[in-house]
Amino acid sequence: MNYYKTTKPFLSTLLLCALSLNTSFSQSPKSLKSVYQEDFLIGTALGVEHILEKNEKANLLIKREFNAITPENIMKSQLIHPSEKSYNFEIADKYVDYGYKNKMYVVGHTLVWHSQLPAFVGKIKSPDSLRIFMTEHINTVAGRYAGKMNSWDVVNEALNEDGTLRKSVFLNLLGEGYIKEAFDLAAKADPKAALYYNDYNIEQPAKRKGAIEIIKKLQASGSKIDGVGIQGHWSINSLNLKDIEESIIAFSQLGIKVAFTELDLTVLPNPWDLRGADVNQRFAEKPELNPYKDALPDSVQTTLANRYADLFKLFLKHRDKISRVTFWGVDDRHSWLNGFPIRNRTNYPLLFDRELEPKKAYQAVINLKISK
């Protein structure tokens, strides 16, 4: 596997850290990355607090359990390119250094996305000006980290639910050719990195068809595309394994790898049949929509564990097609789902709880491998 190479002796440091944390978890001989090392990478999304290593227990957990990392927010254009002529690389540099020193697979997320854009982009009205922004942004960001990123999420969430192209500022001003332009720019700026198209709900038939069309057009035009990222923001109450399996097969038949890039499973009610990760969707707070404010009932813990086990059984069945499974957050406290699509809810979508301890879901995922 294509991890960062480093000669620094970090293993002894990690061992000392492990011994300093007197918890039963730290003494366990198994970890996610170790039991799945022959199958696919196991990743997590890092926030600023993780990149800066502010919490010793979280830092040890990340290094112990994961061999791939994605930046949660700090490489999105709003933060890394805040004004037309200025960039803020401070935390992004530290993120790359974190991956390097810990021999991890490092993902750049994301180069072109219609959301979380710098304020000045909203004032752009001409195709030429937007093309200059996109070109300079990709050249500068991907160029800075050329040879240091294992992969880039080049274009993020370009599709509507029906599989048509989203009417973003990029489509409106540049036409559908902006996707090819973005991939070609990324390939030139960082030729060694794998290039991915990333989106939510593309396991669903209509949107999957749109993603396949994007990939086929890129391939037909000679553009480099190495993989597709299915985000995996799903619910324990409506997990459609059939759609997910059909998508793994359909995308892999295009000759590319499939990654699950932002995996989490909400346990909370969803009365609107909301699916996916459109960050603009918001709903009013109601007590009945926040039923587990203080703790998650054991019965729901079990359901969450069963759903994760079902998913990973499917992933293992298609291990030859899958490059990476990345959880969108380190632990439940860190999850974006605590505030989406309703603020101030308490969610429990990941494998580690708010105290950074493994949940039933963690053990269910581990047991799929160690019980054999």
Dihedral angle, C-alpha 309, 311, 316, 319, nearest 10 ° = -150
- How far is 158 from 149, CA to CA, in rounded Å? 22
- How far is 177 from 332, CA to CA, in rounded Å? 39
- How far is 116 from 226, CA to CA, in rounded Å? 25
Other C-beta atoms lying within 10 Å of the C-beta of residue 184: 18
- Please, which residues bridge with residue 227 across strands? 196, 257
Phi, psi of 262 (to 5 degrees): -145, 50
Return the structure tokens found at 260: 């699950």
Other C-beta atoms lying within 10 Å of the C-beta of residue 83: 10
- How far is 155 from 243, CA to CA, in rounded Å? 23
Residues acting as catalytic residues: 157, 262
**Residue closest to 74 by CA, chosen among 56, 61, 58, 90:** 90
Q: Which long-range contacts link 298-305 to residues 24+ away (Cβ below 8 Å)?
A: 300/236, 300/267, 300/348, 301/348, 301/359, 301/360, 301/361, 302/360, 303/236, 303/267, 304/236, 304/265, 304/267, 304/348, 304/349, 304/359, 304/360, 304/361, 305/359, 305/360, 305/361, 305/363, 305/364
- Residue 78, class by beta-carbon neighbours within 10 Å (0-12 exposed, 13-18 middle, 19+ buried)? middle
- How far is 185 from 289, CA to CA, in rounded Å? 44
- Which residues, including other chains, have CB under 8 Å from residue 357's CB and lie 6 or more apart? 23, 25
> H helices of 167-326, where?
169-174, 177-189, 205-220, 241-252, 298-317
